[in-house]
Structure 1
């Protein structure tokens, strides 16, 4: 075999081996037992820098307040009481957060199937990640308190109606009318509410 042919044969074998390797990925393990958020630090590491471990107390891992119903007399009829690393410094780098949502809840999934359940004290319902979901208190005469665990230490939320009809700059009424099978006048009315 000539040296050029040997070179190309070797190159093909090497590239084939590289293309057959499996990609393995996972979250790295923690390098320390905990990383309590230091709100006074200007250094940003994984969100918030760690507090000096010698100054950490039990209160850094404690939050009280999810048992208290919030004021739900707003346009959405709900109130979120966040428990993120800012409120509970011990959550820093754990990749989770919690909060209470003073409403009942149900969800839908990307296949546009509607999954709904009425919940009672002690019940649990899971929302798959990145699905459109909603919550509603079915007994408007009494406040409802739900405890939510979220898969991020600083989760965000998007209100669909605000995002679609209240975006800045606004989405063209023609586009929204076609997307939602509405007339332009109805879309203009909806956009005027946001």
Structure 2
């Protein structure tokens, strides 16, 4: 008969999220995880299969609790410009919130180009899904006449994602919320009217 789990899975995922966000995927060791979460390596493997398995759960939690909230609020806006504006200002607030490490967990974990293919696949899926949702929203905006006929919804989605990545990198290296807000304001000057 298996022994009952002696730790809370949700709390373990939250603790691992903080570590991966602070140190990146490659910079977070198994010893760091087990020490911080307070579980034995065998328990971590039993619960999550591997460090990469735990990271998949962390990405899911990060998206639902952080990035997803920004995206959901942005995608509900009435115009494509408001979608991008809400998304970028929301990212600024997320990336500079002092209750967690600065920047973006998924961008930070992508920086070292994690060697594990499984990890890269998860990060790539997250990026592509966000880009696709934006492109679909911009395509609908174009069909509604909110964007000009010559606008490229796919390119606009990439534009928004790339600006978001830049904000994440800048926040990680100490840019202030005010600096990043000015960057968003400047970038919106390039939005098609």
Q: TM-score, normalised by structure 1?
A: 0.24
Q: Whose helix proportion is higher, 1 or 2?
A: 2
Q: Which structure has the higher relative contact order (CA within 8 Å, separation 6+)? A: 2
Q: Which has the larger radius of gyration?
A: 1
Q: Whose strand proportion is higher, 1 or 2?
A: 1
